[in-house]
C-alpha cells in the first residue's frame, strides 16, 4: 500500500474517522490495528515475522531496562543484526565468498544458493525498524529511557504506519510522550499537515517521477549519450533521490500530524550546504543522527585523536552505505562520503581553507566583503553538489558496479558529435525552479510562511478535510503507475 495510491487514500480516511471518533483509551489499539493492516497489505507472512521480532525484542528491552544488563544488550544487538544480515546481506556475502573460491567451488556454491535453496525476500522496512529497535535497546542500557514502556507502546513505536516503511527513524522520546498526550482533533495542526502533504505530492508526482523518467532513459544506455548529458543525468539523479525521499517524509509527517503526532524532520534544505558536515546535518537527519550517536560516538568520536577521528568518520559512513543496500556501489558511496567529511575536517583544522560560517551577513561585515563571500559560498556549494552527484553514480549502480564504470567512462570519453543529445523541456526548467523555491523554504525552516499561518488556521473546519481528500486524490490520480518511493527498497 503506497502513499501514492487510491488504496492508501481510502485506508487513511477510514483510519482518520475511526481514530478521532473513538474514546482516547481505544486509540492506541486502533493505531495498532491500522498499522497491522497497513503492513499486511504487503505480506501476511512477513507480518508474522515482524510480530515475532517485536515479541522477541520486548522481553529483552524489559531485561535491559530493569537490570542494565550488558549481556541482554549484546543478545538484543546480535538478534537484530542477524535478522537484518540474513535477509539483506545473505546473497551479498555468498557472492563475495564465491569470488574467493576456485571456479568449481564457486559454481557449486552459486548453483546451490540460486537453484536449490528457496529465494530470500527482503522484508519491507527491515532496515528502518532494525535501527529503531537497536536505538531503543541502547537508550535503555544508557539509562536514557525514562519509564518502562508497555508492550502496546513498544509495538506502536516500531510499527506506527505513517513512518514504518521508510522512516523517519524515531527515538523513544519522539513518540512515547505523544502516545499519552490526550490530544483532541481541534488541537491538530491541520494547516501544517496539509502543507506537508501538498509538498510531498508536488515533490513526488510532479517532480521526482518526471526526473526519474529522464534519468533512467539516459542511464539505460550511457555509452550512447554525450558526456555533458550524463553529467546532467547525475545532477538530476541527485535531485530525484532528494525529491522522492523528502516527498515520502513530508507525506509521512503530514499523515502523522493529522492523527495528532509530530514526527521528526528529516530534511532541512541539504543542497544549500556550505560544507559536507552541514550537508549531513540537513540530509536524512534521523539516519545521520543515528549513525553519529550509535556508531561514531561509540567508536570514540573526536576524543581519541585526529587519526582515529578520520577513521571513525570513514567507518561510520561505510556502515551507512552498507545499510542502504547489499552492493559494492552502496559501500563505495558511503566510503566516498566518509572520505569527503574526513578530508574536509583535515583541511579546515589545518587552516588550508577557511571555514564558512553561514550564508547570512555578519555583524559589521562590509557589503563588498559579504558579496565576495556570497560568491565564494555559491561556488563552493556547487562544487559540493557535484561531488555529491559523483558519489550518487555509485549509489545508482547499487549492486552492479559495472553500471557506474560505464557511466563514468562515458562521462570522460563521450565528447564527439556522434553521441546523442537529450532534448530538455520546459517541465525540466519548472522542476528546477520549484525545487529551488521549496528548498529555500525548507532551508529557512519555512519561516517566510509563518506570517500566513494564523490567517490559515482561523478558517478551519470542513474545507480542511475536503482539501486533504483532494490532495491525496491528486496524488493517486497523477502518480503514473503508482511508482514506488526510492527508499522502499532499503
Catalytic residue among 172, 284, 324, 439: 324
Q: How far is it, in rounded angstroms, from Cα 141 to Cα 256?
A: 29
Q: CA angle 169-330-123, nearest 5°? A: 50
Q: How far is it, in rounded angstroms, from Cα 158 to Cα 314?
A: 29
Is there a contact between 329 and 404 (Cβ–Cβ < 8 Å)?
Answer: yes
H or E element: which one contains 130?
Answer: helix 126-141
Q: Is 424 helix (H, G, I), strand (E, B) or coil?
A: coil
Q: How far is it, in rounded angstroms, from Cα 244 to Cα 257?
A: 20
Give the Å distances, CA to CA, from 83 to 86, 92, 131.
Answer: 6, 15, 12
Q: How far is it, in rounded angstroms, from Cα 320 to Cα 307?
A: 20
Nearest to 391 by CA among 430, 337, 320: 337
Q: Count the alpha carbons within 13 Å of 169 in the hemisphere toward its beta carbon.
A: 25
Q: What are phi and psi of 420, to 5 degrees?
A: -75, 155
Nearest to 245 by CA among 437, 490, 487: 487
Catalytic, 324? Answer yes
Q: How far is it, in rounded angstroms, from Cα 134 to Cα 83?
A: 12
Q: CA angle 439-193-136, nearest 5°? A: 90
State the cell numbers at 278.
Answer: 552541514
Q: Is 64 helix (H, G, I), strand (E, B) or coil?
A: helix
State the cell numbers at 379.
Answer: 561556488
Which residues participate in catalysis according to the annotation? 324
Amino acid at each position: 500500500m503506497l502513499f501514492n495510491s487510491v488504496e492508501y487514500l481510502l485506508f487513511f480516511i477510514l483510519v482518520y474517522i475511526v481514530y478521532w471518533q473513538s474514546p482516547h483509551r481505544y486509540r492506541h489499539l486502533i493505531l495498532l490495528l491500522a498499522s497491522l493492516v497497513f503492513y499486511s497489505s504487503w505480506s501476511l507472512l512477513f507480518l508474522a515475522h515482524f510480530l515475532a521480532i517485536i515479541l522477541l525484542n520486548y522481553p529483552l528491552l524489559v531485561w535491559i531496562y530493569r537490570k542494565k544488563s550488558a549481556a541482554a544488550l549484546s543478545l538484543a544487538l546480535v538478534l537484530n543484526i542477524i535478522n537484518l544480515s540474513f535477509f539483506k546481506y545473505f546473497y551479498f556475502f555468498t557472492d563475495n565468498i564465491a569470488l574467493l573460491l576456485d571456479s568449481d567451488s564457486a559454481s557449486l556454491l552459486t548453483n546451490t544458493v540460486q537453484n536449490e535453496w528457496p529465494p530470500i525476500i527482503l522484508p519491507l522496512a527491515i532496515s528502518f525498524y532494525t535501527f529503531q529497535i537497536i536505538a531503543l535497546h541502547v537508550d535503555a542500557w544508557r539509562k536514557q529511557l525514562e519509564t518502562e514502556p508497555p508492550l502496546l507502546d513498544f509495538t506502536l513505536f516500531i510499527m506506527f504506519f505513517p513512518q514504518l516503511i521508510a522512516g523517519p527513524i524515531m527515538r523513544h522520546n519522539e513518540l512515547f510522550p505523544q502516545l499519552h498526550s490526550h490530544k483532541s482533533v481541534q488541537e491538530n495542526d491541520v494547516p501544517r499537515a496539509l502543507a506537508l502533504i501538498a509538498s510531498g505530492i508536488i515533490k513526488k508526482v510532479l517532480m521526482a517521477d518526471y526526473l526519474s523518467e529522464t534519468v533512467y532513459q539516459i542511464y539505460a544506455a550511457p555509452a550512447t549519450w554525450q558526456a555533458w548529458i550524463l553529467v546532467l543525468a547525475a545532477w538530476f539523479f541527485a535531485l530525484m533521490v532528494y525529491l522522492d525521499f523528502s516527498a515520502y517524509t513530508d507525506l509521512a509527517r503530514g499523515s502523522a500530524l493529522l492523527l495528532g503526532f509530530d514526527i521528526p524532520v528529516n530534511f532541512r534544505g541539504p543542497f544549500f550546504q556550505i560544507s559536507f558536515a552541514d550537508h549531513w546535518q540537513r540530509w536524512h537527519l534521523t539516519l545521520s543522527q543515528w549513525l553519529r550517536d550509535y556508531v561514531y560516538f561509540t567508536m570514540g568520536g573526536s576524543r581519541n585523536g585526529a587519526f582515529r577521528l578520520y577513521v571513525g568518520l570513514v567507518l561510520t559512513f561505510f556502515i551507512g552505505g552498507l545499510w542502504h543496500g547489499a552492493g559494492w556501489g552502496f559501500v563505495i558511496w558511503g566510503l566516498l562520503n566518509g572520505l569527503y567529511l574526513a578530508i574536509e575536517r583535515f583541511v579546515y583544522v589545518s587552516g588550508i581553507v577557511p571555514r564558512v560560517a553561514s550564508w547570512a551577513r555578519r555583524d559589521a561585515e562590509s557589503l563588498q566583503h559579504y558579496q565576495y563571500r556570497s560568491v565564494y559560498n555559491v561556488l563552493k556549494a556547487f562544487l559540493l553538489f557535484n561531488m555529491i552527484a559523483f558519489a550518487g553514480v555509485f549509489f545508482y549502480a547499487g549492486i552492479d558496479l559495472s553500471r557506474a564504470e560505464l557511466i563514468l567512462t562515458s562521462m570522460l570519453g563521450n565528447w564527439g558529435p556522434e553521441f546523442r543529445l537529450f532534448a530538455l523541456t520546459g517541465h525540466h526548467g519548472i522542476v528546477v525552479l520549484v525545487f529551488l523555491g521549496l528548498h529555500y523554504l525548507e532551508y529557512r525552516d519555512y519561516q517566510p510562511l509563518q506570517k500566513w499561518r494564523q490567517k490559515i488556521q482561523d478558517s478551519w473546519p470542513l474545507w480542511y478535510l475536503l482539501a486533504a481528500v483532494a490532495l491525496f486524490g491528486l496524488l493517486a490520480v497523477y502518480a503514473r503507475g503508482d511508482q514506488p518511493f526510492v527508499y522502499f527498497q532499503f
